Structure 1
């Protein structure tokens, strides 16, 4: 039977998490036919072997090196058979039947073409990170001045986190996270998948930006829920640096050059102000190390033209598009 939806998981050193995610997904008994494709980014913890051993129904594609999230999803999407692609992080556990909820909504509301679910803390509260607004110059001003931190619950001063959105109700949103994201496969193909310039972070904003230009309207489906075990709680230096590299890359790819330079300057000012405040208060905050690594994140991610081709060690051949 041809699956209705292809669930794509990208794995990197997540053996324990991905085995748990696959088991809980199977136990959730999705109400629509589905397949699962795991793209392993050259893990050294035996993830690919373990998935094949414990979940022989899952299609595993093992890559020669870690190529990041978006490019790995593109590899899985090229081998997908479903009419929809569902991107699902390996550090998630379903609540109810998120696959059925997303596909059911997509079938009755086909015009949106991109569908986000809710990502929850382990205690069941919404982590506020499954949907967000597009980056704006005003949002960067709020970050640089600290308004977005001081008045985080106000939409006017924190436009990207959408603090006024009732996630229990849902509705149209500007952009959605790739943690739990259903996209019409035809649209994904038309867009050429994720832009390969991103290694991690902001590739989902970029996808929604380009999809909106093609007439899509991302929407939050509140009945589709997963517990996000690790991502929302991670605030380490490495993640912050990657977030900033993704943001800089988005600005340079999608904004006019002068406007992008102004926004980049505001980002730098915001990080500098936070690092200085931490130093003056004597706090050992990660932002101080993030500031010291500013040369790395200000460079953004390397452009796609400079990247090596994707090398697949083993896995299914690509499906014809």
Structure 2
């Protein structure tokens, strides 16, 4: 068994992936051993074999479809030989020092179910570190404003700049480091999510198992953000719809009873109202791409609610193909 397996899920993000793999291939560490596995979610664009030839030291797995991020992560983890798993986005660039610090932090703190680090963009600007689990008090604008007002001092104390390690509720799936034992304890990634919120879900399950989600600030990883989810209007509409769908999935998984009913009902009503108005604007100003995309989002959302009603599940129809 080696120390670390790096798992990268790719879907048509070859340009970003090339830079990511070049950085990993350049690492010649004497401090830890690692392997890299790329799971391609059936990009089917002729580039898979090219990359296998270009990066011979990296293992490539071709998935049997665009099965979603969670499925891709689990596929890579099943093939992993490492005692620890680092799930990376293809649009990240990680160096030896960052990987080493993530590994040491996880090794020295076995209650840290997930470790992540500071992420910066191409301009060295930090991404958001303060993240809270979705709930009724954070779901809608007025509720969020009240919650921020009442918790401001606590949040400032918990995330003060002098702390090297802070503990957000959840960490973005672009950089998730965990031991294989923690991965197995929580049964890996939840494949009921096709795209988005699977990172919130996995962190929630770590917390439910009395673990912690830790973010270390003494190192950073470049995250360029974007890629295959923004190829064209229809693809953009699809991914934006999946954000909405995954909210329903999350609350079905992590709420119950009356609370679940109230949240799902309010979410459905507000989304339908908002997307109906935006779709009308999209029809009136169809020549503006940013507005036109709302027509497709509205259509996708209606089809989803019809599917949820007929199948009796909030799970994304795209995900149900792989979770039955």
CA distance in 2, matches of 1:233, 1:44: 13
**Match in the other structure for 2:108:** 108
| Secondary structure in 1 matching 2:90 | coil
| Secondary structure in 2 matching 1:188 | helix
**Match in the other structure for 1:307:** 321
2:302 pairs with 1:295: yes
**Match in the other structure for 1:218:** 213
Cα offset for 1:23? 0.2
Cα offset for 1:210? 1.5
Cα offset for 1:292? 4.8
**Match in the other structure for 1:132:** 131
TM-score of the pair, normalised by structure 1: 0.80
Q: Alignment partner for residue 190 of structure 2, among 180, 195, 207?
A: 195
Q: Alignment partner for residue 178 of structure 1, among 173, 197, 202?
A: 173
- Root mean square deviation, CA, Å: 3.5
CA distance in 1, matches of 2:247, 2:131: 14
Higher helix share: 2
TM-score of the pair, normalised by structure 2: 0.79
CA distance in 1, matches of 2:222, 2:150: 28
| Secondary structure in 1 matching 2:106 | helix
Cα offset for 1:277? 7.9
Cα offset for 1:232? 9.7
Specify every segment of 5 or more residues in structure 2 that has no aligned partner in the other structure, as ranges.
231-235, 309-313
**Match in the other structure for 1:4:** 3
Cα offset for 1:268? 4.0
| Secondary structure in 2 matching 1:307 | helix
**Match in the other structure for 2:38:** 38
1:218-260 deviation line (CA, Å, top 9, x unaligned)? 1001234222213399784333211111111111122114322
Q: For this pair of structures, how many residues does the alignment match?
A: 300
Cα offset for 1:38? 0.8
Cα offset for 1:138? 0.5
* Structure 2 CA distance for partners of 1:233 and 1:98, relative to 1, 3 Å: farther
Q: Alignment partner for residue 148 of structure 2, among 137, 140, 155?
A: 155
**Match in the other structure for 1:319:** none
Contact 2:12 2:228 in 1 (8 A): no
CA distance in 2, matches of 1:234, 1:44: 16
Contact 2:120 2:223 in 1 (8 A): yes
Contact 2:242 2:316 in 1 (8 A): no
| Secondary structure in 1 matching 2:61 | strand
Cα offset for 1:304? 9.8
CA distance in 2, matches of 1:38, 1:190: 23
Superposed, 1:244-259 pairs within 5 Å as 244-259=244-259
Cα offset for 1:186? 0.8
**Match in the other structure for 1:66:** 66
Cα offset for 1:278? 9.6
CA distance in 1, matches of 2:51, 2:227: 25
Contact 1:141 1:266 in 2 (8 A): no
**More deviation, 295-304/250-259:** 295-304
CA distance in 2, matches of 1:247, 1:268: 10
